[in-house]
Chains A and B, each alone.
Chain A
Amino acid sequence: MKYSPHTSKDKEQMLEAIGAASEEELFSAIPSDLRLGKVDLPDGISEMELKRSVMEMAGDNYSTNKLISFLGGGAYEHYIPQAVESIISRGEFLTAYTPYQAEASQGTLQSIYEYQSLICELTGMDVANASMYDGASSLAEAALLAVRDTGRKQVVYPASLHPEYKQVLKTYMEGIKVEFIEIPHAAGIYDTEVLERQISDGTACVIAQNPNFFGCIEDCSAIGQICHSKGAIFIACVNPLSLGLLSSPGEYGADIAVGEGQPLGIPLSYGGPYLGFFAVKEKYMRKIPGRVVGMTRDSEGKPGFVLTLQAREQHIRREKATSNICSNEGLMALAATVYLSLIGKKGLKEIARQNLLKSHYLAVQISKLGGFEPVFNTPFFNEFVVKCGRDPEKIISDLLKHGIIGGLPLGRFYPDMRNCMSICVTETKSRADLDKFVEVLGKH
């Protein structure tokens, strides 16, 4: 299958216009010993053959459509209204590029402005950018901002921060001499006594995740106060859907709010593409990475949108840029914008409530079973950790035979929690699903 339209007649005419004898001549700058005879790949195939071949491969995948999944851990199965896909698959959005020519990109630009506004409303912050790659890299960039802005070297984060986020944080900051301080958890949440002792005038930022990796809800006001007492920057990493119920970063005094936007109308897609959001208090407006859209007027006084604050970005500041980000997650930000518009003010609260109530119902039912015990006696949103009577990995593989993905065994992340697994319940699970899970679990 080829997508270029040229016939041999076209090519002949074009070569003549160029004044070249053959296409080969056009490649004369490449030394002959670097020219391939042929790439070592099979021949191309038709669309029909492609579909058949891929469908065969797909047959070895058992998705959350077919299996009842209780997996969370940073990627969440929420119902995505069909209208989201209908909008983002429109060619005018899908195949447009970065809106550098603003007059020809008002659709993209206005939707980004709306996205920025929605993130600010959700998080209670003043300014948001047009997106980052994912929650983890967004968090890493927030920490970089804090280190640069304060000139301090210490980054404080909790043991209950998502383990993959910890890794990304460390990888991103490899090139800078930073001291990481991990604060242990007490009953599943920040040990604020230890935090108070560890924080100092050398602390650039304190990171809190809410809900944290265990699903527990943190007292971010308290954490924020301790953080600010030493003049450090408070970074809140939050689940945007939980903000239908939980206190927002703006309400508890966060300076920067970041997180994973995947719960907002973006499919699981085996890990990506996802959506990092990044929002700050006005004070840090000029320090934020990434693109920002602003409203302005055209030469006739009509309102319109443009990319602005560009002088911070890589295409202008180059090595002095606030970040290296260029392409971000534009279409995913659009998906989140459409999703939030569809569910609206009331829908956000409703969905969050159903997540809360269903997960608590399941937690109660599971704890009635022998051999399963909730680990933390702390308020949680839609995820909780249970201690199992036997190896969770074995439980998972037994459950799989019943068409259930039971949960996330935590041993690979926390060696002292080898007999624990994390269970997540979203609004997608019916009571029948929950009761079935409990029944099957009871037999194992």
Chain B
Amino acid sequence: MADTGKLLFAKTHEWLRVEGNIGYVGITDHAQKEITDVVFVELPKVGKEVSKEGEAAVVESVKAAFSIYAPVSGRVIKANDAVEKDPSIVNKSPYDDGWFFAIEMKDPEETASLMSLKDYEEFIKSGAH
């Protein structure tokens, strides 16, 4: 079980797990609940350049499609095929097996503007979407 305490969070409900200069990205438990059953995840191609707050992936439910934004800039070095094969993993394990992609971070300083778990939980409570 991932230690959510070590994750950083974006206002758009993505989480970032930093390992050296690689950042793993997924969506939060709050997000997967809002989206309801995930039926498809469109992952970025490995090698793609993404910029902070730029659209990097798309999550589809039956009734809607949601853009997933990169929390930091960099180059996509890994994409989690497992969620493409079985999208329900995103609902069942949003912080662990349900990760989407990994970025080789261009500028680690960008993480400074992300929220801690505590701040993110406050953010959700305050009703901001």
A residues sitting closer than 8 Å to B (CB atoms) are: 286, 308, 310-312, 316-317, 320
Contact = CB atoms under 8 A, between A and B. Distances in A.
Contacts of A317: 65
A310 B63 contact: yes
Most A-side CB within 10 Å, residue of B39, B42, B60: B60
A308 B39 CA distance: 10
Contacts of B42: 286
A312 B42 CA distance: 12
Contacts of B120: none
Contacts of A308: 62
Most A-side CB within 10 Å, residue of B40, B42, B61, B62: B62
A286 B65 contact: no
B64 interface: yes
B40 A316 contact: no
A312 B39 CA distance: 12
A320 B40 contact: no
Most A-side CB within 10 Å, residue of B39, B40, B65: B65
Nearest to A306: B62
B95 to A, nearest CB: 24
3 closest pairs, A vs B, by CB? A311-B60, A311-B65, A317-B65
A316 B67 CA distance: 12
Contacts of A316: 63-65
Nearest to A320: B65
Nearest to A315: B63
A301 B89 CA distance: 23
A277 B40 CA distance: 25
Q: Give chain B's interface secondary structure class.
A: loop
Contacts of B39: 311
A212 B64 CA distance: 40
Most B-side CB within 10 Å, residue of A311, A312, A316, A317: A311
Interface string B30-47: 000000000110100000
A299 to B, nearest CB: 15
A307 to B, nearest CB: 10
A286 B40 CA distance: 10
B60 to A, nearest CB: 4
19 contacts: A286-B40, A286-B42, A308-B62, A310-B62, A310-B63, A311-B39, A311-B40, A311-B60, A311-B61, A311-B62, A311-B63, A311-B64, A311-B65, A312-B65, A316-B63, A316-B64, A316-B65, A317-B65, A320-B65
A320 B58 CA distance: 11
Nearest to A308: B62
Contacts of B40: 286, 311
A305 to B, nearest CB: 15
Nearest to A312: B65
A169 to B, nearest CB: 27
A444 B60 CA distance: 65
A311 B42 CA distance: 12
A320 B62 CA distance: 16
B31 to A, nearest CB: 16
Contacts of B65: 311-312, 316-317, 320
A312 B61 CA distance: 11
Nearest to B63: A316
Given A308-B62, A311-B65, A312-B65, 16 more contacts: A286-B40, A286-B42, A310-B62, A310-B63, A311-B39, A311-B40, A311-B60, A311-B61, A311-B62, A311-B63, A311-B64, A316-B63, A316-B64, A316-B65, A317-B65, A320-B65
A312 B64 CA distance: 9
A286 B43 CA distance: 13
A316 B64 CA distance: 6
A311 B65 CA distance: 6
Contacts of B62: 308, 310-311
Nearest to A307: B62
A205 B31 CA distance: 38
A310 B63 CA distance: 7
B1 to A, nearest CB: 30
B68 to A, nearest CB: 13
A316 B42 CA distance: 16
A149 B65 CA distance: 18
Nearest to A317: B65
A209 B9 CA distance: 52
Contacts of A310: 62-63
A308 B63 CA distance: 10
B47 to A, nearest CB: 13
A288 to B, nearest CB: 14
A295 to B, nearest CB: 15
A417 B39 CA distance: 54
B114 to A, nearest CB: 26
A310 B40 CA distance: 11
A308 B40 CA distance: 12
A317 B61 CA distance: 12
Nearest to B59: A311
Contacts of A312: 65
A317 B67 CA distance: 10
A26 B61 CA distance: 41
A311 B60 CA distance: 6
